[in-house]
């Protein structure tokens, strides 16, 4: 992506950074680091996607064809871990790096050197994770949730995974402290909290969630590590421990984690929808409050992942009610987006298409979420393909579609070049089609009784599995089109106009040239 900044140089008087690889290793520039985050996450997305292709290839037909059961479990485990920690989370941090300083009128992130460090931890963690496939015994195979005692049984691969999670956690905590500090201290004069763009707001709240829960994850993997090697019995009943305690601690991290992956998407969509509707966002303050309530509620619903683990009726009822309550602020957001579009003057460029696709499919994921919240129904669908369908509707057509919307929306600002609109629309429609082909059928598989994480299944599930696999292959290939569109845009895209989207109102569009210079806002703008 060196070409991105080719014509942006020569702006700053202190622009003496090294060239070549050392530029990227030593950089403290938020734009460079943002770029690295985005490329890293896309690379991880392709790795995780390749694993998904393996999984769907094995499930294309009943019987064992390509992956032996043990390897299949390694694929599902690493697919989940890589997509969550390697693809989605770093991609949002990449957006935060690029956008937060520009949107609040700050020259850079608050801790520029720590920013470099939090990125460069990622390739190390990724190497441990991907490398674990090649150690004796192979990669971790206990699912991305690595429940003990199964995860206590694994080999070296599990230890590598644990260290990798430690490193990723450290990186996330540093990243979020940086974001919080930047947002709280470096806003341009006049930009009060309630004037911040919604993307900044959602990231601020997300960053607080990260600081709250990543240490919990670090703690629980450490307990697992000492159980495995140092004779402790946190999760071993024979030594006085409890395997279910792991689940409680893990999901205390794990459920807020879900919102860590979706709140910044809400932010991106809340920027894109008003821009292309040429109308201010409806209910700005209720959006902020809804985001905050979702974040708070997300910390008291963790045990809804454990309804079948066995807990008192009172416990089940509490977690059911709390979970259902999340539908209210989430609904408010969807209504606000709809009201923003209402009587706007809409155009449908690729970012808008992805944003509308996001709302449409995220709502379906929300419905299945409410259904999963109902304890009796959850007892049936827990650990089945229904749940797989549910969380792919919120993570793929939720987080990932929002990331695409954001990438198309801001790429002109980042590179000074336009992407190919026709190809962008192809990317959207193909993604939309293949995504639904892959995951919609999985609802039925789950209802009919197909458990998740199995490499082989009864013949009654054969037809929908085949459809799902075909959809997945199509979806996977479509994402290569995205890679092509982006490279094409960076290398030889048409020059972007100063203001490619006439409805944009945030600082990076109104106060900065396109492309954004390497150092922006050395003198802060005045926000009225």
Site for other proteins in 49-68 (CB under 8 A): 62-65
443 is catalytic: no
257 is catalytic: yes
**Of 85-93, 214-222, 382-390, 483-491, which segment contacts other proteins by CB under 8 A?**
382-390
Pick one of 10, 20, 230, 285: the residue that binds other proteins (CB under 8 A): 285
270 is catalytic: yes
Cα–Cα–Cα angle for 372, 262, 273, rounded to 5 degrees: 115
Catalytic position from the list 304, 392, 413, 427? 304
Q: Which two tokens stand for residue 489?
A: 């845009």
End-to-end CA distance of the chain: 35
Which are the contacts of 10, defined by CB distance < 8 A and separation ≥ 6?
none
| Least CB distance to other proteins at residue 290 (A) | 9
Pick one of 308, 422, 492, 498: the residue that binds other proteins (CB under 8 A): 308
Comparing CB distances to other proteins, the nearer of 100 and 359 is: 359
| Least CB distance to other proteins at residue 289 (A) | 10
Q: Which residue has the tokens 């801790």?
A: 111
Query: Does the protein bind other proteins through residue 470 (CB under 8 A)?
Result: no
Note whether 412 and 496 are within 8 A (CB): yes
Comparing CB distances to other proteins, the nearer of 42 and 434 is: 434
Q: Which residue has the tokens 């259902």?
A: 324
Pick one of 47, 179, 332, 355: the residue that binds other proteins (CB under 8 A): 332
Query: Does the protein bind other proteins through residue 497 (CB under 8 A)?
Result: no
**Of 44-52, 160-168, 263-271, 306-314, which segment contacts other proteins by CB under 8 A?**
306-314
DSSP bridge pairs for 157: 139
Q: How far apart are CA 272 and CA 501, in angstroms?
A: 10
439, HSE (Cβ side, Cα atoms, 13 Å):
24
Comparing CB distances to other proteins, the nearer of 420 and 505 is: 505
Sign of CA dihedral 194, 29, 400, 383: negative
Q: How far apart are CA 28 and CA 37, in angstroms?
A: 13
Q: Which two tokens stand for residue 48?
A: 């995780």
304 is catalytic: yes
Longest dimension (CA), the chain: 69
Note whether 132 and 140 are within 8 A (CB): yes
Note whether 74 and 157 are within 8 A (CB): yes
Q: Could you write out the three-class secondary structure of 420-472? A: CHHHHHHHHHHHHHHHHHHHHHHHHHHHHCCECCCCCCCHHHHHHHHHHHHHH
Nearest to 59 by CA among 45, 43, 79, 44: 79
79 is catalytic: yes
Pick one of 12, 283, 474, 476: the residue that binds other proteins (CB under 8 A): 283
| Least CB distance to other proteins at residue 141 (A) | 7
Query: Does the protein bind other proteins through residue 325 (CB under 8 A)?
Result: yes
Comparing CB distances to other proteins, the nearer of 95 and 461 is: 461
172 is catalytic: yes
Catalytic position from the list 5, 30, 56, 333? 333
Note whether 140 and 158 are within 8 A (CB): yes
Query: Does the protein bind other proteins through residue 371 (CB under 8 A)?
Result: yes
Pick one of 117, 426, 444, 518: the residue that binds other proteins (CB under 8 A): 444
Query: Does the protein bind other proteins through residue 422 (CB under 8 A)?
Result: no
Pick one of 28, 50, 232, 236: the residue that binds other proteins (CB under 8 A): 236
Pick one of 80, 101, 455, 524: the residue that binds other proteins (CB under 8 A): 455
Query: Does the protein bind other proteins through residue 153 (CB under 8 A)?
Result: yes
**Of 41-49, 457-465, 490-498, 518-526, which segment contacts other proteins by CB under 8 A?**
457-465
Q: Which two tokens stand for residue 512?
A: 């900065």
Query: Does the protein bind other proteins through residue 316 (CB under 8 A)?
Result: yes
DSSP state of 56: H
452 is catalytic: yes
109, 196, 334, 526, 527 from 505: Cα distances, Å: 22, 12, 21, 14, 12
Query: Does the protein bind other proteins through residue 459 (CB under 8 A)?
Result: yes
Comparing CB distances to other proteins, the nearer of 28 and 233 is: 233
265 is catalytic: no
Residues tagged active-site: 79, 108, 144, 171-172, 255, 257, 259, 270, 304-305, 330, 333, 452
């Amino acid at each position: 992506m060196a070409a991105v900044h080719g014509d942006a140089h020569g702006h700053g008087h202190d622009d003496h950074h090294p060239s070549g690889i050392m530029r990227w290793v030593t950089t403290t520039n938020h734009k460079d680091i943002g770029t690295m985050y985005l490329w890293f996450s896309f690379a991880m997305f392709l790795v995780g996607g390749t694993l998904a292709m393996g999984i769907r290839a094995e499930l294309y037909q009943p019987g064992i064809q390509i992956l032996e059961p043990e390897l299949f479990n390694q694929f599902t485990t690493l697919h989940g871990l890589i997509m969550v920690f390697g693809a989605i989370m770093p991609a949002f941090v990449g957006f935060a790096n690029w956008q937060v300083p520009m949107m609040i009128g700050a020259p850079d992130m608050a801790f520029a050197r720590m920013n470099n460090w939090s990125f460069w931890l990622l390739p190390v963690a990724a190497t441990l994770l991907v490398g674990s496939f090649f150690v004796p015994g192979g990669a971790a195979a206990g699912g991305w949730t690595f429940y003990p005692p199964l995860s206590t049984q694994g080999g070296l691969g599990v230890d590598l995974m644990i260290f990798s999670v430690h490193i990723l956690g450290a990186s996330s905590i540093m990243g979020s402290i940086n974001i919080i500090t930047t947002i709280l201290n470096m806003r341009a004069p006049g930009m009060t909290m309630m004037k911040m763009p919604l993307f900044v707001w959602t990231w601020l709240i997300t960053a607080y969630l990260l600081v709250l829960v990543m240490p919990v994850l670090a703690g629980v993997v450490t307990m697992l590590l000492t159980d495995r090697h140092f004779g402790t019995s946190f999760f071993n009943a024979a030594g006085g421990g409890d395997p279910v305690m792991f689940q409680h601690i893990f999901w205390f991290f794990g459920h807020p984690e879900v919102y860590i992956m979706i709140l910044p998407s809400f932010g991106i969509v809340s920027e894109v929808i008003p821009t292309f509707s040429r109308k201010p966002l409806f209910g700005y303050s209720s959006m902020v409050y809804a985001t905050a309530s979702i974040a708070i509620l997300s910390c008291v619903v963790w045990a809804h992942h454990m309804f079948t683990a066995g807990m008192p009726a009172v416990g089940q009822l509490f977690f059911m009610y709390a979970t259902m309550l999340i539908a209210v602020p989430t609904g408010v957001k969807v209504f606000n987006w709809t009201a923003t579009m209402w009587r706007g003057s809409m155009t449908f460029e690729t970012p808008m298409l992805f944003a509308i696709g996001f709302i449409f499919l995220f709502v379906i994921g929300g419905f299945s979420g409410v259904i999963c919240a109902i304890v009796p129904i959850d007892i049936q669908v827990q650990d089945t393909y229904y749940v797989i369908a549910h969380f792919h509707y919120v993570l793929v057509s939720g987080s990932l579609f929002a990331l695409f919307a954001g990438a198309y929306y801001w790429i002109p600002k980042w590179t000074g070049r336009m992407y190919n609109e026709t190809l962008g629309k192809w990317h959207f429609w193909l993604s939309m089609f293949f995504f639904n082909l892959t995951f919609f059928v999985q609802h039925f598989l789950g209802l009919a009784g197909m458990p998740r994480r199995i490499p082989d299944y009864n013949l009654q599930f054969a037809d929908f599995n085949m459809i799902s696999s075909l959809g997945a292959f199509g979806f996977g290939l479509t994402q290569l089109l995205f890679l092509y569109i982006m490279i094409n845009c960076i290398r030889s895209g048409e020059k972007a106009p100063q203001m490619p989207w006439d409805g944009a109102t945030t600082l990076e569009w109104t106060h900065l040239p396109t492309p954004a210079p390497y150092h922006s806002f050395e003198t802060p703008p005045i926000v009225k």
